[in-house]
């Protein structure tokens, strides 16, 4: 039976732990793990531009012995040139798996519904599960997962949605500080009932072990830029805010970063920043996901 990864809820806590264990092995033995994807071809359907998601998946697939085909927005033009239903059915005849990076989460759901091969969410407007898995894997490496408090400062976006769900599932405390009107959706908060939502960044970071931030304006929200800049101006992760967290707190950012907005250079490039390790871990975790879903 085929398995998809569309949201964090598609994985149990034991499956997440299995992914982390395999990702650790893959990271330690990057070039010598064999070719578990030999003879398999995966399609990357991307409506949005990408740096980390595309490169980490393509390199990961290659290192596992597989082959990746990039299908940008102009190749398919989902929902306009061709319906997600037809794309899913046709590509199921050619490929062994699909990684989809789309605007609407409904598009990924539709692809998975009509596909006979695994579909992985590479980012939608609702969730970013591969990012959240990589985030928690990084936290596990640096801090462990016991008695950890994560503080997210910024927008109630897809990254926070997935982070809330995975922290709740894995037993981490999470505080989120968002401006009024920019909190996570009610359905996510219902799922992640243990999360605490604040409007004050200083309240959220007190006693935190991990400080996480993301851009204030995501792709597709460009028309809201000026309004968001005003709404989020007090939500910057800077040296003053870091003083309120635990002394050994680490800093995460899923990138790309708008330096001088949501995070300062001093923090981004400082000793607490684990941002580059976090970015690298995308590849190791995604390789583990691919093996688990395609084996």
Q: What is the pLDDT of residues 30-50, one digit of tens each?
A: 988 899 999 999 999 999 889
Per-chain mean pLDDT for the chain: 96
| pLDDT computed for residue 220 by the predictor | 80
Q: Which CATH code of 3.30.360.10, 3.40.50.1370, 2.40.10.10, 3.40.50.2300 fits the domain covering 131-278?
A: 3.40.50.1370
Tell me if 8-128+282-294 shares its fold with 131-278: yes
| pLDDT computed for residue 4 by the predictor | 98
CA atoms within 13 A on the CB side of 255: 17
Domains of the chain, residue spans: 8-128+282-294, 131-278
Confidence of residue 268 (pLDDT cuts 50, 70, 90): very high
Q: Is 10 a catalytic residue?
A: no
In order, the DSSP letters of 13-53 are HHHHHHHHHHHHHHHHTTT-S--TTTT-EEEEEESS--SHH
For the whole model, what pTM was predicted? 0.96
Question: C-alpha angle 227/231/237, rounded to 5°?
Answer: 125
Q: Is 214 a catalytic residue?
A: yes
Q: One of 54, 114, 282, 284 is an active-site residue; which one?
A: 282
pLDDT digits (tens, 9 = 90+) for 85-97: 999 999 999 999 9
Confidence of residue 295 (pLDDT cuts 50, 70, 90): confident
Task: Name the one residue in this structure whose structure tokens are 């805010």.
Answer: 241
The percent of residues above 70 in pLDDT, for the chain, comes to 100
| pLDDT computed for residue 140 by the predictor | 98
Q: One of 114, 128, 168, 253 is an active-site residue; which one?
A: 128
Q: Is 128 a catalytic residue?
A: yes
Q: Is 282 a catalytic residue?
A: yes
The answer on pLDDT for 219 being more than 80 is: no
Is residue 164 within 8 A of residue 188, CB to CB? The reply is yes
The answer on pLDDT for 79 being more than 80 is: no
Beta bridge partners of 252: 212
Is residue 107 within 8 A of residue 101, CB to CB? The reply is no
Q: One of 130, 167, 178, 254 is an active-site residue; which one?
A: 254
CATH domain 8-128+282-294 topology: Rossmann fold (3.40.50)
Q: One of 52, 105, 125, 131 is an active-site residue; which one?
A: 131
Neighbours of 225 (CB within 10 A): 11
């Amino acid at each position: 039976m085929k398995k998809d990864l569309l949201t964090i809820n598609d994985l149990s806590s034991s499956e997440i732990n299995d992914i982390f264990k395999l990702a650790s092995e893959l990271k330690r033995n990057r070039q010598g793990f064999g070719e578990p994807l030999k003879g398999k071809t995966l399609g990357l359907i991307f409506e949005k531009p990408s740096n980390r998601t595309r490169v980490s998946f393509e390199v990961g697939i290659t290192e596992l012995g597989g082959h990746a085909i990039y299908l940008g927005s102009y190749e398919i033009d989902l929902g306009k040139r061709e319906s997600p239903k037809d794309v899913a059915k046709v590509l199921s005849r050619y490929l062994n798996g699909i990684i989809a990076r789309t605007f609407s989460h409904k598009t990924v759901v539709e692809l998975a519904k009509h596909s006979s091969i695994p579909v992985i969410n590479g980012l939608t407007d609702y969730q970013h599960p591969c990012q959240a898995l990589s985030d928690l894997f990084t936290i596990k490496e640096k801090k462990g997962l016991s008695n950890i408090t994560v503080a997210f400062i910024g927008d109630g976006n897809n990254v926070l949605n997935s982070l809330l769900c995975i922290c709740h599932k894995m037993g981490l405390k999470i505080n989120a500080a968002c401006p009024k009107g920019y909190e996570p959706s009610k359905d996510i908060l219902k799922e992640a009932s243990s999360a605490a939502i604040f409007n004050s960044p200083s309240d959220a970071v007190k006693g935190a072990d991990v400080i996480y931030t993301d851009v204030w304006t995501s792709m597709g929200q460009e028309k809201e830029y000026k309004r968001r800049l005003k709404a989020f101006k007090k939500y910057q992760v800077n040296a003053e805010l870091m003083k309120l967290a635990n002394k050994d707190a680490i800093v995460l950012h899923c990138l790309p970063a708008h330096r001088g907005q949501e995070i300062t250079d001093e923090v981004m490039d400082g000793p607490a920043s684990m941002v580059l390790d976090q970015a690298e871990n995308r590849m190791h975790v995604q390789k583990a996901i691919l093996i688990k879903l395609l084996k």
